[in-house]
Structure 1
Amino acid sequence: MLRRLLSQKKSVWGFSILLLFIVMAIVGPFFTQDPKAFLGTPLQPPGGEYLLGTTGQGQDVWAQMIVGARHSLFSALAIGAATTLIGVLLGLAGAFWGGVADEGISLFTNIFLVIPGLPLAIVVAAYLPSGQITIALVLIATGWAWNARVFRAQALSLRQRDFVSASIVGGESSLRLMFFEILPNMAPLLLSTFLGAVIYALGAQVGLEFLGLGDISAITWGTNLYWASNDAALMTESWWTFIPTGLCIALVGFSLALLNFAIDEIADPRLQVQKVWRRRVGRSDPGLTPVVRTAV
């Protein structure tokens, strides 16, 4: 699967962009100024001493963007991993054990699916003490349900396969069946779900912090946008206080989406066949009408 991913342009571009931001988040803060220090004239345009200018409080925008990447990226990865793990455990448990356990897990999952996740996260975060840990716990609590439903459906399908029946007859334990027989066959779905959860976590985390529900004294991409809005960046045309951070968020989401599309093509052979067929048809007869191309 990794070899097939590395052979696709989508995954190579997505992984390259994501790796660039991860390296920036790890190494970058050691080579920047203190992002909280009041160094220059407020709302100083980019150029000269400050590469991306200064904020409304005279802080270095470049330093805040680099340091904010560390907190926002690693929080999103941790939240995505936690929601995926909870979804896997509950989905596998419900599908494999069945009966009362499956009904109880399904009922619990349906309750969270009925309630809109992001509005619930906003309400809960507003009443809890502000901070990154609070936002992480809120997003984990509101983001696992869909993952559990998807993994349960896939596990139910795999449980009917012959190799699982043979393992049951062979006397393998339930945990070994779930984690060594069923879970490895869900690797593409697992990775795709994790990437989708990271995208959700990054967007929701930035959104909650932008609304002022996080720790506004911390340096994150969300708080950078919060302070830019608080300083009336649009009214003063101080584009450099929010566009660099917004562009970073968009690029990270774009890289994760590219990786997700590449995994979907690998997991679903029909998408790969359609892609190759369209390429061949386009080369053989450039004069095909759009209707024919769409039908193909």
Structure 2
Amino acid sequence: MTVPTTTELTTAPEQHAPSTETMATAARAPKGPSGPSALARIGSSFAMFRNRKSLTGLVILGVFILVAIFADVIAPYGPLDKDYTALKQPPSWQHLFGTSHMGEDIFSQIVYGTRGVLIVGFLSAILATVIAVAVGVTAGIVTGWKSEALSALTNVFLVLPGLPLMIIIATQFDNPSLLLIAAVLALTGWAWGARVLRAQTMSLRNRDFVQAARANGEPLGRIITVEMLPNLMAIIASSFVGTVTAAILGLTTLAFIGVIPITNLNWGTILFWAQQNGAFPDYWWWYVPAGLCIALLGMSLSLINFGIDEYVNPRLRSAGERARAMRKKGIKVSSAVTAVRPVTAAKKPAGAKDA
């Protein structure tokens, strides 16, 4: 057996220790494939839209958006063009959805009315989401009387009756614009999202990464924008989609009861004129298409919201992944799968006799 000398024991570690230049080069080297790439981060941001429900909802919503953009090309007539030779006519090749009591083409009114519905819905949701994020996140991150004051403000708007408040505000103007209508709907629809964001922010402010950022002396603005908001994006997206749905229903309700002037053409205005001129129930083509459009758009937003909920909730996400894996194997998700084992006779001890 060879015993190493004192010189060998002293120089051996020096042969394997990295030099200062080597360590500096390794520090400057780019990260390997283990770090997430930009495409991977972008793909993970849209992971909530990978299931069939979300994709179906996005497709339906995309169709409505295309109809709103290309309304001038799709609509065969102007929304207020009148044909006095065809009054209250049923659907035909000349008028796909029939005509109104003034000979107006219902299909053209549906197409042009899509613009007003989507503009008010998305604009109102953007305004309401901005208010909800500002109030909810601030109320969750601060403490003391500031948090309690913002929480009390949220509770006040949460219990206010939305529809009467919208009617009172909208009737103060002779010809309210779409921006004003969206602002009114946003004013009555931000409180629920702010309440949820406040609760989630209060949960996040005690996490280790937030406490570490505070210990490092990070400013409050950076903690909110860099540390907290990325973890709240799924909830903000869900709140945004829900606010769009509520704003569309609020717009059509205000138009149906006659609060919004007839110059603001939308699906609710069509239902208003149908109700005013006795279209129910005989002239079904006057009110059924508008009602179906409201239902389809609401269904698409609900499907998108289901996908976001599945992405946020770990239990729903694991259940969805398990269901998709079962479909790939050809197993019905609704079928009960039970493992059946063959029954074998129990071995008798040696020397035992039958009874």
**C-alpha distance in 1 between matches for 2:240 and 2:319:** 26
**C-alpha distance in 2 between matches for 1:277 and 1:5:** 16
Match of 2:80 among 36, 53, 65: 36
Unaligned runs of 5+ in 2: 1-43, 325-332, 340-355
Does residue 154 of structure 1 match 2:196? no
Per-residue deviation, residues 191-228 of structure 1 (Å, max 9, x unmatched): 10000000000001100111000121222111111111
For the aligned residues, what is the CA RMSD?
A: 2.1
* Percent of residue pairs identical: 38
Q: 3-state SS of the aligned residue for 1:43?
A: coil
Match of 1:92 among 132, 137, 155: 137
**Does the aligned pair in 2 maintain the 1:206–1:221 contact within 8 Å?**
yes
Aligned twin of 2:92: 47
Aligned twin of 2:343: none
Aligned twin of 2:68: 25
Match of 1:165 among 191, 196, 211: 211
1:276 deviates by 5.8
Q: Which residue identity is paired with 2:266?
A: T
**C-alpha distance in 2 between matches for 1:133 and 1:77:** 11
TM-score by structure 2 length?
0.76
TM-score by structure 1 length?
0.90
Q: Which residue identity is paired with 1:39?
A: D
Q: 3-state SS of the aligned residue for 1:242?
A: helix
**C-alpha distance in 1 between matches for 2:81 and 2:323:** 55
Q: How many residues align?
A: 286
Match of 2:309 among 261, 264, 283: 264
Aligned twin of 1:282: 335
Per-residue deviation, residues 81-105 of structure 1 (Å, max 9, x unmatched): 1111100001111112222321221
Match of 2:170 among 111, 115, 125: 125
Q: Which residue identity is paired with 2:201?
A: A
**Does the aligned pair in 2 maintain the 1:79–1:201 contact within 8 Å?**
yes
1:170 deviates by 1.8
Q: Which structure features the higher share of helix residues?
A: 1
Q: 3-state SS of the aligned residue for 1:234?
A: coil
Q: Which residue identity is paired with 1:38?
A: K
1:120 deviates by 2.3
**C-alpha distance in 1 between matches for 2:243 and 2:146:** 25
Per-residue deviation, residues 139-172 of structure 1 (Å, max 9, x unmatched): 1111111111111111111111111111112222
1:259 deviates by 0.7
Q: Which residue identity is paired with 2:80?
A: K
Match of 1:58 among 79, 82, 103: 103
**Does the aligned pair in 2 maintain the 1:128–1:134 contact within 8 Å?**
no
Which of 41-50 and 206-215 deviates more? 41-50
Does residue 112 of structure 1 match 2:132? no
Question: Structure 1 138/271 Cα, relative in aligned 2: closer, same or farther at 3 Å?
Answer: same
1:127 deviates by 3.9
Which of 113-122 and 237-246 deviates more? 113-122
Question: Structure 1 281/21 Cα, relative in aligned 2: closer, same or farther at 3 Å?
Answer: closer
**C-alpha distance in 1 between matches for 2:88 and 2:334:** 55
**C-alpha distance in 1 between matches for 2:173 and 2:156:** 21
1:4 deviates by 2.6
**C-alpha distance in 2 between matches for 1:5 and 1:110:** 30
**Does the aligned pair in 2 maintain the 1:130–1:213 contact within 8 Å?**
no
